[in-house]
Amino acid sequence: MMKKFLVAITAAAMLAGSYGAVFARCAPLIKEGRELLGTTKVSKADQDKARGLLDEAQKNLDAGDHANGVKNANAALDILKKK
């Protein structure tokens, strides 16, 4: 019984740790994207698309969906950082 308890605690700790890592990346990525919007020279269409992705990433973050928030923020950064 003690072994099952330790396995459950370990699994919960691993899940919480990975969740925290995603959360910790989400907000800084959105912030970086918002900063790049004002300084990067990309087309108006690309700016609008990146802004939409960042807005969606923020909605994901607010809803607790950090994995999709990171995905959308990274997609926006890809648009803003392309040469």
Q: What is the pLDDT of residues 42-76, one digit of tens each?
A: 899 999 999 999 999 999 999 989 899 999 999 99
pLDDT at 18: 45
Asked which of 6-10, 39-43, 47-51 is least confident by mean pLDDT, the reply is 6-10
DSSP letter string over 9-60? HHHHHHHHHHHHHHHHHHHHHHHHHHHHHHH----HHHHHHHHHHHHHHHHH
Mean pLDDT for 21-33 is 79
pLDDT at 17: 47
The CA distance from 47 to 9, in Å, is: 45
Entry pTM: 0.70
The CA distance from 48 to 79, in Å, is: 10
Contact 12, 19 (CB under 8 A): no
